[in-house]
Structures are given as structure tokens and as C-alpha cells.
Amino acid sequence: MKASAERPPALIRSRTGGRFESGTVHVIGIALILVSAGMLVSALVAFIDGGSDRGTDVRALLGSAAISASIGFVAWWSTAVPNRQRASMAFSAVTWSWVSVSLIGALPFLLSGTFDWSHADNAIFESVSGFTTTGSTVIQDLDSVPKGVRFFRQMTQWFGGMGLIVLAVAVLPALKVGGLELIAAEAPGPRPDRLTPQVRETARRLWLLYGAFTVAITAALMLFGGMDLYDGLAHAFTTASTGGFSPYSASVGGFESAAVEIVLIIAMITCGASYSWHWQAIRGNPGVYLRVSEFRVYLAMFVGATALLFAVNRELGNSAGRTLRDAAFNVATVLTSTGFGTADFTEWGPPAQVLLLLIMIPAGTTGSTSGGIKTLRLQVIAKFAAREVSRARHPRAIRTIRLGNTVVSDDVVNRTVGFVLLYLCATLVGGALVTALGADPVAGFSAAVSATGNIGPALGDVGPASTFLELPRASRPVLMFLMLFGRLEVFPTVLAIAGLLSHRKRLPRQRLRHR
């Protein structure tokens, strides 16, 4: 009894079925099984397409699916979720499952020959960029990549948008223990909003709403934009997830269609807003949007930035209609952290580029699939700063921070300040590292801002018309870490690493006591 108590919880064998109790490994197994399903669907797309590279395409995806499913099944079958879980398990499970699916997601790129094995880091970069819905790429000629692999590339962002763990909680009742903690650790925003009293039902409804948006965007792109089913679904995957991958090198700009761009602008702004608000609106409460201060600020940023960008770009000589279209689309794609491209904004003037860089920081709203700090946190920080200035003038005054009619507690304010400080520090350190490794300062720091905010394109050498191959190869691990750091909302990554380090420190002591 004493010996078993001294073992780490992850190594204690369950009394049922001889399984090890490890919530982290169990969740990793489920995530890998779900990803393998996406690979199988992509293999079917490759088979139906019947292109000249169909054989290579299908074999690469089927082989990847078999490997992912095998590892996932063993991890899932050999472990059990403990009845009592520590809060740290949720952070660990989410972080390491994201790392695992990012590594396994590189296989289709390698097995199809998109990248050779000597450049496996490029394949992992592409996979991380997909699952974190960042949208940065290191593929120079995307049109030459097999169609099935390109479809899987789109699916990585769709899986990453709402989150594999939210999906797991929705479909697997075994995860109802600690389900809310898992959703809280993964879902974008400071907290998950319960759509129903039951966590599993909340997760299920989130995915149903997410799927409904995907279908609606696909239909709109086909009906109004003239896309076929493949293009419509591929772009809907990365619009609903605000990811920004396109199956074509020219991205959305290759369609040269005002209708496509208008549909995507509306869809991006919609998906950059909280799914909780959308659910309430569908349930008969459409006024929720205007009652929430965060949405009003978010919409004001879009309208204001579009107007400013239109004004500063009038000197480029394009027609007013084209200038407004480019302004609205690029503000929407950057503000929501989607990252589609219709114009190379690195060729615009410095005022336009600085404006786009600034709106990369807030990105969308809490509870959406967008990246960035989130509009709500910037509101809290601004009101916190105003309160501290007021306290300096009137030390005895008692002022609360309010967002609309809601009083923000000091605990929430402290967590928000901590989040923003960690976020900005990681971005600045990452930008300094990328620059120190040989990148141009503009490209290096804007790439770090883009990676942490899961935006996609940046400025300088890594703009919408370029790839991240322009940066030194040694800088890609830094950017991959920043993508995961930003997508998982800072704290899960920090706490998972802290838990790993503390676990390693405890192991020698435990072994010594056991002896």
C-alpha cells in the first residue's frame, strides 16, 4: 500500500481491466483516433478525385491513418480516466494532445513526398500551423501537392478551430469526469460558457453549431461564389475555424470574385464572435449582440479599421470599390486571425501596415475560434489602467471595473493582467530570438506577433504573398512554440511545462524512498 502511494498518479494501475490511470494519455489516444478519421475522409476525397497522383495520395493518407489510429487505440485502450482528477490534468491533457496530433499530422506531408524526411521539421511546422489555426505555411508550390493531402491540411484547421477535446467531451461519455476543466483549458477565451447545465451537452451543441456554420458557409460559397463542392468545403473548414489555409497558392485572391470575398467577410466576422452569443440568438434572443460591450467594441474595431485603411489606401490609385473591398477583407481576415490573402499588404504604405499589425493583437472575441489576446481582455486592461490612474489622483476612492452592467472581480482582473503580460513577454522574446537567428527585424517581430496570435501572414519577407521559408530554419521551432502557446491561451502550456519539470524533480526522491 505504501509503495503504490509513492508512485506517480499516472502510473497507478486501475483496478478495472488492468489499465493504467492516466487522463493525459487517455485523451491523447482519443485525439489521435479522431485525427485518423479525418485522414480516412481525406483519402476518400483523393480516391474520388482520381488525379494522376491518386495512388501516392491515397497510400500516404491511409498509411498515416493506420499509424495514428493504432497509436491512439493503444493509448486509449490501455489507460483509464481517474475518478478523481487534479486541475493540472486538464492542462496537461490538452497541451500534450495538441503536441501529439501536430506530430502525427505531419505524416501525410512526409509520406506523400510533399516534404522529404530530411526536412521533417517543415512538415511538423505545417501541421502545427494547421491544428493551431495559424495559417502560416512553408509550402512554396501548394498547387503541386496532392489533392487529398491538401484536403487533410484544410481539415487540420477545422479540427483545431473548435478543438479536439471539446469534440471528445461531446461524443465520449467517459470524459464527463472533469469535462468542464478540459473545455476550459482548450476552448478560446477566459472561460467556457455553459449552453446547458450538462458539460457534455454543451460540448455537443458547440460542435453542432460549428458544423452548421461550416455547412452554411459551404452553401453560400457555392451558391453566390460559384465554387464547386471541394473548394466550398475546403474554404468553409478554414473560415469557420478562422484558420486561413487555402488549397491554392493564390489563396482567396485567386478567385478574383467580389461575391466570394463578401461571403467570407461576413463569415469571418461571424465566426470571430462568441458562439455563446450565436446560440442565444438562434434560441430567440438576437438582441444579445448589441447588449454585450465586447461585441460592440469588436464591431467598432472592424468598421473603424476598414474606414482608416480605405482612407490611407486611396492614394494607391485603385477604384473606390476595389479599395474598399481590399480594406474590408484584409481587416476582417487579420482582426479575426483568419489569414486569407487577396492582396499583398506588404506593398502598401507604412500607415496601412502598422494599422494591420495593431489589430493583430486583439483579434476576435472570447468564446470564438479566433486567436489573439481577445477584445474582452483589452477592455479589462484599459479599464484597469484607467482605474489605477484615478487611484493615483484619489487614493481613497473606491472604483470597480465594469463591462456594461457587469462588475469585473479583482480575481478576473488579476488573471487578465497575468495573461496579457505572459502573452506579450512570449511574443517579444520570440521576436527577439527569431531576429537573433538571422531574420530581418520587421519580419522577425511581426512573425512572432502573427504566430502567438495565430494570424498567419505577417509583414516584410513573410507577408501574404510569401512563405515562412524566408525565415531561418532554426527559427521555426520558436514559432511553433508560439503558435501552441497562443492557441492554448497561455496558461495550459505554462502549467503543463511546469508540471513536467516538477514531476522530474520529484522522481529521484520517490525512487530513493522506494529503495
The predicted-structure confidence for 121-139, as pLDDT tens digits, reads as follows 999 999 999 999 999 999 9
Of 235-249, 275-289, 310-324, 500-514, which gets the smallest average pLDDT? 500-514
CB atoms within 10 A of CB 99: 18
More confident residue, 6 or 504: 504
pLDDT band at residue 336 under the 50/70/90 scheme: very high
Give the per-residue pLDDT at 197: 52
**pLDDT confidence band for 86 (50 / 70 / 90):** low
How far, in whole angstroms, is CA 267 from its chain's centroid? 17
So what's the pLDDT on residue 205?
83
Determine the Cα–Cα distance for residues 489 and 415; give it in Å rounded to an integer.
12
User: Is it the case that residue 2 has pLDDT exceeding 70?
Assistant: no
User: What gap in Å lies between CA 265 and CA 328, rounded to an integer?
Assistant: 7
| Residue 414: pLDDT over 50 | yes
Let me know if 405 is exposed, middle or buried by CB neighbors in 10 A (0-12, 13-18, 19+): exposed
Residue 283 resides in a domain: no
Q: For residues 356-376, give the mean pLDDT.
A: 87
List, for residues 287-316, the tens digit of each pLDDT value.
888 888 889 999 999 999 999 999 999 888
C-alpha cell at 268: 469571418
Q: Mean pLDDT over residues 238-243, rounded?
A: 94
- Per-residue pLDDT at 185: 47
Q: How high is the pLDDT of residue 515?
A: 41
More confident residue, 137 or 15: 137
Query: Per-residue confidence at 235, pLDDT binned at 50, 70, 90?
Result: very high
Lowest model confidence (mean pLDDT) among 40-49, 74-83, 336-345: 74-83
First to last CA, the chain: 15
- What integer pLDDT is reported at residue 54 of this predicted model? 79
Grid coordinates belonging to 424: 506579450
140 phi, psi to nearest 5 deg: -75, -45
Question: Of 237-251, 320-334, 382-396, 467-481, which gets the smallest average pLDDT?
Answer: 382-396
Share of the chain above pLDDT 90, in %: 54
In the predicted structure, residue 382 carries a pLDDT above the cut 70:
yes
Summarised one tens digit per residue, pLDDT across range 185-234 is: 444 444 445 555 566 677 788 888 999 999 999 999 999 999 999 999 99
pLDDT in tens, 455-464: 999 999 999 9
Helix 199-223 crosses helix 147-162 at what angle (to 10 degrees)?
A: 140
Alpha helices for 241-319 (secondary structure H)? 258-271, 275-282, 288-291, 293-313
Q: Which three cell numbers stand for residue 373?
A: 489576446
**Paired residues of 403 in beta bridges:** 406
At 492, is the pLDDT very low, low, confident or very high (cuts 50, 70, 90)?
confident
The parent domain of residue 416 ranges over 401-514
Asked whether the beta carbons of 297 and 364 are under 8 A apart, the reply is: no
Distance CA 314, CA 307 (A): 11
Check whether 181 has a pLDDT greater than 90: no
Nearest to residue 339, comparing CAs of 130, 484, 193?
A: 130
If you count them, how many residues does the chain have? 515
Query: What beta strand segments (E) does 369-463 contain?
Result: 401-403, 406-408
Cβ atoms of 212 and 296 closer than 8 Å: no
**Average pLDDT over every residue of 446-456:** 94
Residue recorded with cell 499589425: 357
| pLDDT higher than threshold 50 for residue 179 | no
Nearest to 380 by CA among 405, 407, 409, 416: 416
Cα 292–Cα 295–Cα 299 angle in degrees, nearest 5: 145
For the stretch 504-513, pLDDT in tens is 555 554 444 4
Tell me which amino acid residue 499 is. Answer: G
Cα gap 85→161, rounded to integer Å:
26
Name the residue among 383, 395, 457 with its Cα closest to residue 420.
383
Residue 441 located in a structural domain = yes
The answer to whether position 509 is within a domain reads yes
Residue 412 within any structural domain of the chain: yes
The pLDDT mean for the chain works out to: 85
Nearest to 260 by CA among 172, 332, 190: 332
Bigger pLDDT: 448 or 184? Answer: 448
The answer to the question of residue 406 being in a domain is yes
Quick one: pLDDT at residue 408?
A: 80
| Domain membership flag for residue 332 | no
Residue recorded with cell 460549428: 210
Structurally, how many domains does the chain consist of?
1
Q: Is residue 510 part of a domain?
A: yes
Q: Which residues contact 487 (CB under 8 A, 6 or more apart)?
A: 98, 131, 132, 133, 134, 160, 371, 454
In a domain, 173, yes or no: no
Q: What is the rounded average pLDDT of the residues 229-253?
A: 95
The mean pLDDT value for 8-13 works out to 45
